[in-house]
Structure 1
Amino acid sequence: MARAGILYSDVARAATELAAKGEAATVDNVRKMMGDTGSKSTIAPMLKRWKEEHQDEAQAAKFGLPESILNAVRGVYALLQSDCENKIIALTAEHDALIQAAKTQQATLSDLIESLTTNKITLEAQLAATQEKLESIEEKYSALQLKFTGMQSEKEGLTLRLDDRSQEVRELKQKNATMQNQFEHFQTATANQRSDDRRAYETRITQIESELQLARKNNQTLESTQTKQEAEIQQLLLINAEIANNAQKRKEDLEALQIKHYQTDFLLQETKQENLLLKKDLSATQLESQRLQTSAAVSAKLQDVLTEQLKQSEIKTRKVEEEKQALIIELIKTRANDVTSNENLNDNPALESQSKHLIQDIPTTKPDR
């Protein structure tokens, strides 16, 4: 008849017996303890459950130590672990605070960079507008220069015309003087004709003088216009110089902003470097924590070794005491046999007293562990 399935109680009972014997509670040992029954896949989860429920007992059986010593070692280990965790928590908090401060500083620097970038864009736009205005003024200046050149040419033409009119007047005056001489010779014969010619000449001279005055007025008007245009040109030149000065100032402000931007980038790089150093410090702290945990494990192992040595020393002491008791008993028996062979023990009170005294010297209690 086939056997029913393995129960948890069977596995727990076998594991408890193995632990009581000081043997390891493995799947193979438990299966062997139950008579080589049950599959390993069935025993393994049950054994795992038993180990979780009897973890302290399994540790005590594994190291062969009293529960009080194990509790003391656990207390020392827990204290070391708590100290390490507190240090790690403090360092982590400090690191988080430094990272938060670095993030805050980085955000401030980002806002400053954004503000500087906005100012830079605004200044560049103003500079572009100023340059456009300057180009417009230069175009107007060129147009006025061309206009001034045209008016200068017109003035030169009027001056030439005025010179021609003056030459013509001189020629007419000279001709008039000549005709007056002729009139003196022919005054009597041609008095009337000469009078008509004189009036015609005078009319012509009057007309020419009127044209000459008109040309002079036009020349004065052109000179006044030229003076005004020169004043306007001077004003435009002053405006142009002022715009150039403003552009230079904008350029200097932009260079100053660029310097601040470079300084901000440098501070940002220093902050990143500090963050890397903090990360390295955290890694070193974690390594120190691991070292402390390893030291605690070594201390626990050393405690186990010392406990084992103490146990061996107690065993040796107990054996020595047992051998001593055996030797004393053997000595008593030897002496008793010697006395018996010579005389009766009851007839010798001194020997009886000595035997009782030796028996009383024999330890009746076992040595402390």
Structure 2
Amino acid sequence: MGRTGVHKTDVEKARNSIIAQGRHPSVDAVRIALGNTGSKTTISKYLRELEAESGGPVDRKTSISAALQNLVAQLAAQLEIEASSRIADISMESGEKDRQHSAEIEEVTAKHTQVKEKLDLTIAAIKQEIESHEQTNEALQKETMAHHTLAQQVIDLKERLAENDVHRQSLEEKHQHSRDALEHYRTSVKEQRDQDIRSHEQQVQQLQAELRQLQQTLVTKQNEITRLNQDGARWVAEISQAQKTIYDEQTSHRKLSSQIDALRAIEQRAKVLEPQLAEKDIKIKELETLLHQSVTASNSQKEQIHKMEVEQASAIAKIEAQQIMMVELRSLFASRITLGGGGAASDLPGK
């Protein structure tokens, strides 16, 4: 049994049917009769066995031409089998090469895609870096302007704070003077009272005679006490106002301290941004250097191409001039030969 499941009896039946139709039982004819099934090698083997069993060709009484035709058919079948095998091998090799070429093309395409993606990423990174640099510059300019504004505000606030300190010191001095005056008043009143008591104890006997005068003196003293009390109340009001002013100045001083702390934070942020800006400036300078080198190389190539074009035009002009000279020389040489024979060749230019 063949590998494809075709039996020798099936091949024999198909062969006999073809012979009965008056056709040559070739491998292809038998395979077609079998319904395009079976291996050509198996069918050819069975055909050779059947011919060997039948003692040669199908009809022993056929002529020599028929035998030759049979032999040619067998050779053709053998050649067809070998050709089919060779074609199958070539097809396999070609398929393998095609797969290798396809793999190489896919690899090259993948590399090209990767390079293109890297280039696109690089260009995008450069654009993003430039945009980031511009944004950083804008941020730095804004921070610089804000820094200058806040610095001026700090200077103004410091001046106001100094003025407030001076005013506060002045109010404290007035407050201290008021305290001193009030203490002096209290001391003087106490001393005066002590003195009056001592004088009263010493001059008890003279009080009756001087009662009227002392009453007047007492009225005067009471008026002075009233005036001093009024002055004391006024000084107390001024001291309260001074304390309120000092409290307001302390509140303003705390606000100024908060603003100064915010300004210090902004200065720290500006110091952090300055190294980043410097690093981005270095990257941009490197990119500009690469761009300048590329432009320089492109200009050099353009100059070389222009030089080569000039040299090519000059060479073409020389060739055309030489061709014209050759035509003239040939014409002159032909005319000399016509007029004077072979000796005219010595009159050619350059001879």
TM tier, shorter chain? Answer: 0.3 to 0.5
TM normalised by structure 1 equals 0.41
TM normalised by structure 2 equals 0.43
Higher relative contact order (CA 8 A, sep 6+): 1
